[in-house]
């Protein structure tokens, strides 16, 4: 973005790359964890879910780390890996899915900002009112102008918001540990109740939430071509991941020691505000509200940068139309940025049609992101098995990551799997456009079959949703 040119000369250090990972992951999701988990799991189920998600995502982070070191020729990480492993059409699917997930993730931020302000300005409601839509529209295009001025200015703003968000979250953890946490309440919440099902059901029900909050673990790999040293990409990924995992587990589990599970589940979003208010009084809700606003604005900025970089890089690699290569006088990929802002705004419009805008956006974001993660894990297995880089430990790590991502596909459920196909399939038109620009055959035989299957799945999804056979 600005500076991509400036950054390439100086190079991003490991702390800066780790900051991109942390900044991308710590956003709206962490403030919604108490209610999101309590609605689907008891304390024991939540702890087990974090064990599964944390272990699986750690394996995926290690795959990113190994690929960054072993395949330095593949810039832009998550996008390049799918293309290298499974061909240009699958690579495009991965890039588009990741980009679309980033756009919808940005929608959740505006919904949560509006719902937070709704405590003071009732017109904003739960974030899905027309007043909330107007706020999101103005904010979205204001940030568009900030990013269009260059990545240097945007990165400085991201650094400020990163500090602010951690101050509020650390205060949340400290205040609960020393003030609001009750061991009796915590033990009473461990089992949950029969309505939640068994532990397996509880773990499955929380997986899309964990995927959403872990989005951004690949942030350093997306910017790998700007790294000062290639090995810093992997270190930044793992360092950022472990830091954020500890924070997520603390926010979730400590909340089970403040209120009964049913009351936690009934809290309005951002539920962390309700937890801290119950622990220390009304000023706790204000603290979280202010921290959330700063945090979410920072995460929105980070995800806008990531989404723009992914789309621009896809165009540079001839996987998207050439017009998306266009930059402005400051070196910002303005065409990709404009496409990102426009599609984010269109998804913001769709929130007006949803009964629960935040949960809908969160789960759809996760569903779209699972495919790029699955493809990265698959490429990790192939790379680990190759003659040049064969290593038993790497094979085990990549295999676990692949098994975990397959479990995520299962946990997604049919509704969001079908909805993801509706978004994925039409994007093939962009791929065909790019291939025609180069005078290349659009599909190989295998890719033509894949295209036919995705279109058939999208048609089936439309029919299933229209007839009510599947409901969101």
Q: What is the Cα–Cα distance from 233 to 12, expressed in whole angstroms?
A: 9
| Average confidence (pLDDT) over 172-198 | 81
User: According to the model, what pLDDT value does residue 335 have?
Assistant: 92
Residue 312: closest CA among 70, 102, 133, 108: 102
Residue 204, H or E segment = helix 199-214
Residue 200 Cα distances to 194, 205, 401, angstroms: 13, 9, 19
Name the pLDDT band for 231 (thresholds 50, 70, 90): low
| Average confidence (pLDDT) over 203-231 | 70
User: According to the model, what pLDDT value does residue 6 have?
Assistant: 42
Query: In degrees rounded to 5, what are phi and psi of residue 184?
Result: -65, -45
Q: What is the Cα–Cα distance from 340 to 406, expressed in whole angstroms?
A: 28
Q: What is the Cα–Cα distance from 328 to 312, expressed in whole angstroms?
A: 13
User: According to the model, what pLDDT value does residue 196 have?
Assistant: 75
User: According to the model, what pLDDT value does residue 2 have?
Assistant: 38
| Longest distance between any two alpha carbons in the chain, whole Å | 69
Count of C-beta atoms within a 10 Å radius of residue 379:
27
User: Alpha-carbon torsion 103, 104, 106, 111, what sign?
Assistant: positive
Name the pLDDT band for 344 (thresholds 50, 70, 90): very high
Predicted TM-score of the model (pTM): 0.79
User: According to the model, what pLDDT value does residue 470 have?
Assistant: 63
Q: What is the Cα–Cα distance from 180 to 409, expressed in whole angstroms?
A: 37
Lowest-confidence segment of 144-158, 311-325, 448-462 by average pLDDT: 144-158
- Residues 6+ away with beta carbon under 8 Å from 15: 236
Rg of the chain on CA atoms, in Å: 21
Count of C-beta atoms within a 10 Å radius of residue 71:
18
Residue 7 has pLDDT above 50, yes or no: no
The per-residue pLDDT for range 398-444, each reduced to its tens digit, is 899 999 998 888 887 777 778 888 888 888 888 888 888 877 888 88
User: Alpha-carbon torsion 412, 416, 422, 427, what sign?
Assistant: negative
User: According to the model, what pLDDT value does residue 5 have?
Assistant: 39
CATH topology assigned to domain 3-414:
Amino acid/polyamine transporter I (1.20.1740)
User: According to the model, what pLDDT value does residue 339 have?
Assistant: 92
Q: What is the Cα–Cα distance from 207 to 112, expressed in whole angstroms?
A: 20
- The overall average pLDDT reported for the chain is 80
Q: What torsion do the CA atoms of 239, 244, 246, 248 make, to the nearest 10 degrees?
A: -170
Residue 430 Cα distances to 78, 93, 134, 241, angstroms: 19, 10, 30, 33
CB of 99 closer than 8 Å to CB of 347: no
User: According to the model, what pLDDT value does residue 140 have?
Assistant: 92
The per-residue pLDDT for range 138-184, each reduced to its tens digit, is 999 988 988 887 754 555 566 666 677 777 788 888 888 887 788 88
CB of 348 closer than 8 Å to CB of 113: no
User: According to the model, what pLDDT value does residue 267 have?
Assistant: 84
Peptide bond into 116 cis (omega under 30): no
Lowest-confidence segment of 44-58, 167-181, 207-221, 304-318 by average pLDDT: 207-221
The per-residue pLDDT for range 51-82, each reduced to its tens digit, is 998 889 888 888 887 887 777 777 666 777 88
Percent of the chain exceeding pLDDT 70 equals 84
Name the pLDDT band for 4 (thresholds 50, 70, 90): very low
User: According to the model, what pLDDT value does residue 291 have?
Assistant: 77
Residue 218 has pLDDT above 70, yes or no: no
Residue 360: closest CA among 348, 343, 371: 348
Count of C-beta atoms within a 10 Å radius of residue 445:
7
CB of 377 closer than 8 Å to CB of 402: yes
| Average confidence (pLDDT) over 35-54 | 88
Higher pLDDT, 425 or 354: 425
The per-residue pLDDT for range 79-128, each reduced to its tens digit, is 778 888 888 888 888 888 888 888 888 888 888 888 878 877 888 877 77
Coil/strand/helix, residue 12: strand
CB of 108 closer than 8 Å to CB of 361: yes
Q: What is the Cα–Cα distance from 195 to 47, expressed in whole angstroms?
A: 18
């Amino acid at each position: 973005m600005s500076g991509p040119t400036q950054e390439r000369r100086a190079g991003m250090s490991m702390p800066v790359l780790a900051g991109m990972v942390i900044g991308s992951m710590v956003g709206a999701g962490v403030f919604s964890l108490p209610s999101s988990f309590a609605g689907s799991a008891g304390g024991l189920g939540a702890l087990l879910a974090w064990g599964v998600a944390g272990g699986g995502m750690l394996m995926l982070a290690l795959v990113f780390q190994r690929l960054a070191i072993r395949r330095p020729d593949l810039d832009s990480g998550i996008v390049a890996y799918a293309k290298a492993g499974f061909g240009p059409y699958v690579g495009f699917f991965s890039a588009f899915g990741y980009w679309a997930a980033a756009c919808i993730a940005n929608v959740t931020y505006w919904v949560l900002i509006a719902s937070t302000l709704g405590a003071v300005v009732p017109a904003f409601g739960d974030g899905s009112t027309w007043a909330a839509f107007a706020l999101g529209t103005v904010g979205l295009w204001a940030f568009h102008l900030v990013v269009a001025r260059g990545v240097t200015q945007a990165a400085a703003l991201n650094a400020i918001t990163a500090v602010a968000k951690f101050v509020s979250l650390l205060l949340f953890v400290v205040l609960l540990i020393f003030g609001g946490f009750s061991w009796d309440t915590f033990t009473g919440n461990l089992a949950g109740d029969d309505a939640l099902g068994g532990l397996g059901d509880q773990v499955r029900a929380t997986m899309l939430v964990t995927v959403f909050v872990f989005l951004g673990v690949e942030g350093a790999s997306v910017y790998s071509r700007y790294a000062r040293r290639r090995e810093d990409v992997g270190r930044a990924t793992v360092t950022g991941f472990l830091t954020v995992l500890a924070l997520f587990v603390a926010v979730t589990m400590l909340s089970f020691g403040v209120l009964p599970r049913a009351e936690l589940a009934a809290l309005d979003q951002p539920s962390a505000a309700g937890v801290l208010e119950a622990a220390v009084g009304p000023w706790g809700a204000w603290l979280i509200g202010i921290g959330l606003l700063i945090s979410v604005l920072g995460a929105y900025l980070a995800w806008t940068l990531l989404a723009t970089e992914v789309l621009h890089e896809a165009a540079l690699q001839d996987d998207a139309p050439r017009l998306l290569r266009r930059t402005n006088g400051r070196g910002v990929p303005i065409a990709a940025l404009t496409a990102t802002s426009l599609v984010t705004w269109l998804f913001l419009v769709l929130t007006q049609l949803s009964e629960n805008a935040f949960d809908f956006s969160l789960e759809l974001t996760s569903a779209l992101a699972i495919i790029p993660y699955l493809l990265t894990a698959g490429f990790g297995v192939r790379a680990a098995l190759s003659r040049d880089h064969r290593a038993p430990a790497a094979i085990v790590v990549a295999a676990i990551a692949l098994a975990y991502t397959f479990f995520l596909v299962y946990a997604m459920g049919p509704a969001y799997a079908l909805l993801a196909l509706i978004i994925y399939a039409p994007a093939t038109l962009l791929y065909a456009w790019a291939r025609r620009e180069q005078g290349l055959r659009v599909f190989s035989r295998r890719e033509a079959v894949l295209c036919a299957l995705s279109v058939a799945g999208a048609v089936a999804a439309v029919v299933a949703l229209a007839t009510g056979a599947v409901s969101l």
